[in-house]
Chain A
């Protein structure tokens, strides 16, 4: 009984927002990329590198906003790699995404050594301002994430740019015949996904904490992907899914279940994702042209 009360407590629900923040941001990023037709499983690596860049930026002059700037640049860099190799060189998007993840893991630990001279955890850096609500810390980036949801929705469904991006993800040839530059828009969309994933990383290192720890993304980039799929590539749907996963993580961290060992609770978000993908919550169809590089004239 107590467990149930705990699970519905206000502080837990508020904590969900905190845990969901990186998921919301990264999922929104994933939506940009995939809606334009480019699969991006490198959200994890972009998030990790963004987290490192944020910590590094903050350490340079003690200003956490420099960290945010660095995270955005880091996201742009990795986004550019993904865009270049997938959109321009038309390489296999899943393979490239995996490469970026491996790259991020190696690069961040390497740079920890080279720039901070440490093995696993960076020195403490200045963190972003936060507000305390009912004993839960709400960092600035959480507000950013929440505001971005309706903004991204409006972008995709009420602006001409959003219309174009949606069309190239479904039927790039149709858009091409109307003069829409398919690969240029895809490149920009992938860059955008990098920026958002980078911001998600910034939340991990300097929004929710004050340092970068090796491999601190811990699979959140993939959970964000799952949130995107569960949310059927829609900003509001992804938000809902991210909140659900954030709640699961909060429960795992803060609630003691008498009958389930705590080590296994942490696996709940992952198990939940598989259950979703087994179709227990309806079919999830990606944009029709997702994953296929576009070459002019191949219609």
Chain B
């Protein structure tokens, strides 16, 4: 609990409770002025909560916060902003129909009375943009600009308010490896200008690449704070999980059989009628896992929705076991033994207000033994649910519990249990371990490999490159709605995939013709 001059921030014994959860349990966190400090932990370790307490979005239940040596009481974001703390959230806090400038100055607008001074606002934005090398288009509307520019707008937002300490929550989640490099350059530039940076992540390579010190949280408690150069990725992983972690998934060689799923020149549009999938062709064989690597927003969502019958297919063909299912609806596709783990479990995968029983039959509710002649058979459903709870170790309160009361990992296990128990011949798994604790991740990975070993074909979509690399037998890279290349998993790595994900192609000589 030192109050040395060079600590810009000290958070001592912070405790924060939520219904059913102790998100922060006596956490200690200190940051030196001018450093880049990584705050790491698994999903649900309490990192975001801690920073939201700092930023005044949550009220702490216990503990003290010192900023620049003085005790502070943060009752809302305005207090944090006044102190010089700025936060760039994981899910951008940007208002879509407003312009970059409007978003940046909102709440702190240059004005005379209540009349906006739009010129002054734009000038200020340009000034900061140039000073820190953060290129943005001040007049553009948020919904029209790239993710990278949106992030830069968020950064300018904090600098506009005089932030000295910048907090970044999972800033690289939506960026390609190249964009991540650019972001780290920005970090360095900010550091040179005297700013202090805290960034939250669960990606260990990043931590090693850019941070000065690392604090690890686990299960709501602070575990340790170390100097980056003194530790390896494995050391940090062990601190995060509390035991030795296998960063690689163990699996045997694939033994692929004949074709089970085929996509031919598929074209699909998004909600704004803009082409999102622009002529994708794929094949998956029985007993193999085809991974699709790509930054989110390159057509994966629309592709999966089209393959599962939720979205209209503009042109092209989809076949299961040589049967043309292009015009099939969601129910018919499911009946062809095609199971689907959706990327958004709360929106698509579950009915949060239904209990476990009613969720476990979703999509199969009109089949025996769950119903007969349109009448539900709840006794059979109850038995089936209990079986799945036991088999898949779904925790959260029994079969009458509502899905919304389960943790993310258990919700995902519920979906996996439901889909896998139908013994599908083909499985589409979209971001299957997003937001899931490491224990459940291991479980789900094992289940997917087991399915594959039993002869099922698997199409895996994931933004997590290490997951794609460790699970897949073959990898297809998607960029702007097209498949850029298909490679053998054992013959490629993250660097190469990262380049392909941004659209550059590798020609025969190993040189990349960059974009």
**Chain A residues within CB distance 8 Å of chain B:** 158-161, 163-164, 166-167, 170-171, 173-180, 288, 296-297, 299
Contact = CB atoms under 8 A, between A and B. Distances in A.
Lowest 5 CB-CB distances: which A-B pairs, in order? A179-B78, A174-B93, A178-B107, A160-B109, A171-B95
18 contacts: A159-B111, A159-B115, A163-B109, A163-B116, A164-B107, A167-B95, A171-B94, A171-B95, A173-B93, A174-B94, A174-B106, A175-B107, A178-B93, A179-B76, A179-B81, A296-B57, A299-B57, A299-B89
A283 B102 CA distance: 25
A236 B196 CA distance: 47
Contacts of B95: 166-167, 170-171, 174-175
A128 B202 CA distance: 69
A297 B81 contact: no
B496 interface: no
A179 to B, nearest CB: 3
Contacts of B76: 179
B304 to A, nearest CB: 24
Nearest to A178: B107
Given A159-B116, A177-B87, A297-B57, A167 B106 contact: yes
Nearest to A174: B93
Contacts of A296: 57
A160 B91 CA distance: 25
B55 A163 contact: no
Contacts of B103: 174
Given A163-B116, A177-B55, A288-B96, 17 more contacts: A159-B111, A160-B115, A163-B102, A166-B97, A167-B98, A170-B97, A174-B103, A175-B107, A176-B77, A178-B77, A178-B81, A178-B157, A179-B107, A296-B57, A299-B89, A299-B91, A299-B93
A186 B114 CA distance: 18
A175 B94 CA distance: 8
A200 to B, nearest CB: 25
Interface of B: 52, 55, 57-58, 76-78, 81, 87, 89, 91-98, 102-103, 106-109, 111, 114-116, 157
Main secondary structure of the interface of A (DSSP, over half): helix
Contacts, number: 76
Contact of A177 (B89, B114, B116): B89
Contacts of B109: 160, 163
Contacts of B89: 177, 299
Contacts of B93: 171, 173-174, 177-178, 299
Nearest to B110: A160
Contacts of B116: 158-160, 163
Contact of B98 (A159, A170, A297): A170
Contacts of A288: 96
A178 B108 contact: yes
A211 B471 CA distance: 78
Contact of B106 (A159, A175, A297): A175
Contact of A160 (B87, B92, B111): B111
B106 A163 contact: yes
Given A174-B94, A299-B91, A160 B114 contact: yes
B461 to A, nearest CB: 26
Contacts of B52: 297
